[in-house]
Amino acid sequence: MRINRMGKQLHIAVTGLNNTDNPGPGVPVIRGIRESSGLDVRIIGLAYENLEPGIYMPGITDKTYLIPYPSSGTKVFIDRILEIHEKERLDLIIPNFDAELFTFIKSADLLYSHGIRTYLPTLEQFEERNKINLPAFGKKYGIKVPDSREVVNEKDISAIMEEFEFPVMVKGKFYDAWLAYNKEQISGYFHKIASKWGLPVILQQYIRGTEVNAVALGDGTGRTVAAVSMRKQFITDKGKAWSGITILDPEMAEITRDMISHTKWRGGMELEMIKTSSAEYYLIEINPRIPAWVYLAVGAGQNIPEALVKLSLGMEVPAMDTYQPGKMFIRYSWDLLGDIGQFEQITMNGEL
Amino acid sequence: MKIKSTVAISDNGFLFDPTTGDSYTTNPVAREIIFLMKENLQADQIKSAILEKYEVDELTLEKNLIDFYSMLHHFNLTDAN
């Protein structure tokens, strides 16, 4: 039996169609949903830029709309979503960008009053795991985290660096992370990140080791519905995984389950950790959404996007306890041909 | 010394540790030793099996086996006990 809503297809809107060398999770999330044999869906893409590849990729979205950046203001943003809702009768929105999550979480009740569901963490959960609050988060939940400091003024860098050793990570509040070996490099990255993502910029102790990540899904009661661990095998100059492999790391799995159990996390999440040579685990980041490599989890046996859709509909989803280790993904670039007419349509009409 | 039960080795000598995602290639003799370890043979039994099959003096084999076992240990492919 195919799941729909009262005999009608489920209309699911998805952001993050930027399948570039710094990919958003939209396309893999859609692939997961489309591969579900149980869901009868129409996929509505929500794009910020008219050249996001997911707009043009065959078989990904049924229809795509341009939306304004959340920085245009919540009203402008939500009005556009509701305008699309009038045309498409949206049942669910799956946001996939860190920078838009605050707006979606704040507007969840309003969207729900219009019949649009979301499946997101609470504002408290979202704020608590913020990079800026990570040291307090680690202390509260007994997880090792690298020491870190906020920088709002370049002049503070020297004083902060008296407490740190080089190299040090320089991070933006949403995205971007650079490894700096001296104060000049820190200053350069500080300005680069601040101009793109705003302040504060975060200086974080550099932990040597192997980066291991987990994608997980919590149902808000403390139950882990799904969790898959992955080791990056090839990393781009932007620090993104170009290739990765699923691993069965019992400690990583336990940390993930404990985290969801203690925080009662609701929705998708990604834990980024460093495993040192002495097998210590340091939490370096929690992304409050499904990551771009989620299709690896689907291939390994846990269809996390499908489970998220079902949970959002209030369905019972049994916990997925196993997956296949040694499943790999390798990204590749592919020249997709389009037509100027498509570009014209999305640019002039805001939809394709 | 025991090889971790989770470590998988294929017939062509490709070794994969699913707990870390690390993979290794082994030569035919290393592959054979790992298969023997997987069958829970003790170090002296493995030594005898190799001595019987290959033309090698005991001292050289022992030295090479010690090197090989330390390498397995270094790559965290063995159980602690």
Record: contact A326-B16, CB cut-off 8 A: yes
Whether residue B81 has pLDDT greater than 60 = no
Pairing of strands A92-94, A10-14: parallel
Residue burial A307-321, b: 16+ Cβ < 10 Å; e: rest: bbbbbbbeeebeebe
| Burial (CB count <10 Å: 0-12, 13-18, 19+), residue A92 | buried
Q: Which of A256, A144, A156 lies closest to A209, judged by CA?
A: A144
User: Which value does ipTM take for this structure?
Assistant: 0.79
Chain A positions in Cβ-Cβ contact with residue B6 (cut-off 8 Å)? 248
Express each pLDDT in B10-66 by its tens digit: 999 999 999 999 999 999 999 999 999 999 999 999 999 999 999 999 999 999 999
> Which of A230, A233, A248 lies at the smallest CB-CB distance from B19?
A248
Record: contact B18-A233, CB cut-off 8 A: no
What DSSP letter does each residue of B8-74 carry, written as one string?
EE-TTSEEEETTTTEEEE--HHHHHHHHHHHTT--HHHHHHHHHHHS---HHHHHHHHHHHHHHHHH
Record: contact B19-A247, CB cut-off 8 A: yes
Express each pLDDT in A123-166 by its tens digit: 999 999 988 888 899 999 999 999 888 899 888 888 888 888 89
**pTM value?**
0.89
Residues A150 and A138: their CA atoms lie apart, in Å, by: 16
- Express as a percent the part of chain A with pLDDT over 90: 78
Provide the 3-class DSSP secondary structure of residue A211.
Answer: strand
pLDDT at A1: 61
Express each pLDDT in A165-198 by its tens digit: 899 999 988 778 888 999 899 999 999 999 888 8
Chain B positions in Cβ-Cβ contact with residue A231 (cut-off 8 Å)? 20-21
Chain A: give the shortest CA distance to residue B80, in Å: 14
pLDDT at A7: 65
